[in-house]
Amino acid sequence: MFTSCFSERQIFFISMRRRRICKFIGSRKGFLFLMVTLPIFYASWQLSHVVGQALIPPPPPDQILHHFRANRSLVHYLDNINLLIEPSSVCQKKVPVLILVTSTPSHFRHRDVIRNTWGKHQETYFFLGLSQDDDRLADAYIEAKQHSDLIVHEFQDHYQNLTLKVGLMLQWALDRCPRAEFVFKTDDDVLLNPRTLDTVLADNKDAALFGYKKENSIPHRDEYTKWYLPRWLYNEDLIPEYLSGTGYIINGKNLKEIFTASLHIPLINMEDVYFTYLVAKRALELPLTHDRRLSPYKPWIFTCPYKNYASIHSLSPEEMESIWSKIQSLGESKFCNYFTSELLLY
C-alpha cells in the first residue's frame, strides 16, 4: 500500500537506506508494525496533552473576581442582567414557604430528583445563569416549559457569581411572590424534609432569619479554595456570625428590607456571609437565629436522626433518592417516635 510513497523521479534520487524503509512500510510486516505503533504514538501524544493541560493552573480567583474591582454595587449588576426565562404564573395559592434553589445549567439530574422527591411538597424554583449565545439555552427552554419551575438570567453561571444569583433570586421573589410567608434559600445538593421543615417554621415564626449559625469563622485566604475571600473584599480577620448558605430562611416580613439594604452594601463573593451577616446582621441589626435542624452537614449515622433534620447537605442525586425513600419509611416508624435522637444532631 505504501509502494507509491515516492514518485519514480524521487526514487531515483533517494538513498538505498530510505528505499529500504519505503519497502518495509509497503510490506505486510511493515503494515502490522504501523498498526501497532501508530495508536501508541497517538495515545501518548493525547496523554501528554491532557497532562500538560492539568499542569497549567486555573486562573487565580482574584482574576475571576476582578469585575468586583470595577463596581461592587448590587444594583449595578441587577440593572444590567436580563431575565431570559421564568414560569408564566407563580404563587397562585397561599405560599407558606417559597423554596429558591441555586442550580447550574448542567445539573438536570439534580433538579429532576428534587422535583420527584421533596420538591413536590412545596413551591420550589430553580435559578441559573446562561448567556444568550449558549447552546444550552434551548434545553433550558424545553425544561422550563415542561416543569414551569426554572428561572434563567443572563449572566455567567460561576461559583464566584453566587452573590449575584442570590440577589436575583430575592429580587424575583419580591416581584413575583411578595406574600410568601417564608423564603428558603438553598442549593441543589440539599435534601429537605418537608415534615420537619413545617415544625422548624412553626418554631421560628417570629424570627427574621434562621438557619445554621456559624460563629467566629476565619475567612479562607488561600486563593485556590472555593471559598476564597480576599482581603480587598473583606478585610477583617473573623466573620462574627452568619447563617450557612446551604439553607437559610428569611421571614417574608423582612425580605423587602433585606433586599433593599443589599442594594447599597458593597458586594463580596460569599453569598451567605453577604446577605445574612453584612446586610441583615451588621447593617440592619436583625438577629440571626440558630436552628441546627437546618444542617449544613450529612448525619454520620443513618437512623432516626434523619427524621429530625429539616435539611441535609452535600448529597449526590443518587443519595438524595435513596435517603428520601428511607425518610419516608422512617416517618411511619413507631420506634423513631419513641427514640429521642436530638442528641445525635450536630
Ligand X SMILES: *[C@@H]1O[C@H](CO)[C@@H](O)[C@H](O)[C@H]1NC(C)=O
Binding positions for ligand X, rule: CB under 6 A: 64, 67, 71, 73, 75-77, 79, 155-156, 158, 160-161, 164
Q: Walk across the sheet containing 288-290 and list its strands.
A: 83-85, 150-154, 124-130, 97-102, 182-187, 239-251, 209-217, 288-290
**CB nearer ligand X, residue 20 or residue 158:** 158
* DSSP H helix total and E strand total for the chain: 15, 10
* Residue 71 DSSP code: -
**CB nearer ligand X, residue 79 or residue 206:** 79
CB of 40 to ligand X, least distance (A): 40
CB of 127 to ligand X, least distance (A): 14
**CB nearer ligand X, residue 41 or residue 232:** 232
Residue 3 CB contacts under 8 Å (≥ 6 apart), including other chains:
22, 23, 26
**CB nearer ligand X, residue 81 or residue 91:** 81
CB of 58 to ligand X, least distance (A): 12
**CB nearer ligand X, residue 8 or residue 222:** 222
CB of 76 to ligand X, least distance (A): 3
Which residue carries 495515545 as its cell? 43
CB contact at 8 A, 188 and 111: yes
Strands (DSSP E) found in the chain: 83-85, 97-102, 124-130, 150-154, 182-187, 191-192, 209-217, 239-251, 288-290, 311-312
CB of 157 to ligand X, least distance (A): 8
CB of 164 to ligand X, least distance (A): 6
**CB nearer ligand X, residue 203 or residue 223:** 223
CB of 275 to ligand X, least distance (A): 17
CB of 131 to ligand X, least distance (A): 8
**CB nearer ligand X, residue 83 or residue 238:** 83
From residue 171, alpha-carbon distances to 75, 175, 263 in Å are 11, 6, 10
* Residue 119 DSSP code: G
**CB nearer ligand X, residue 80 or residue 325:** 80
Residue 187, sorted as left (phi over 0), alpha (psi -120 to 50) or beta, turns out to be: beta
From residue 121, alpha-carbon distances to 2, 156, 271, 283, 314 in Å are 70, 30, 26, 34, 21
Q: Among 189, 205, 187, which residue's Cα sits nearest to residue 197?
A: 205
Q: What is the sign, positive or negative, of the torsion defined by CA atoms of 305, 213, 247, 220?
A: negative
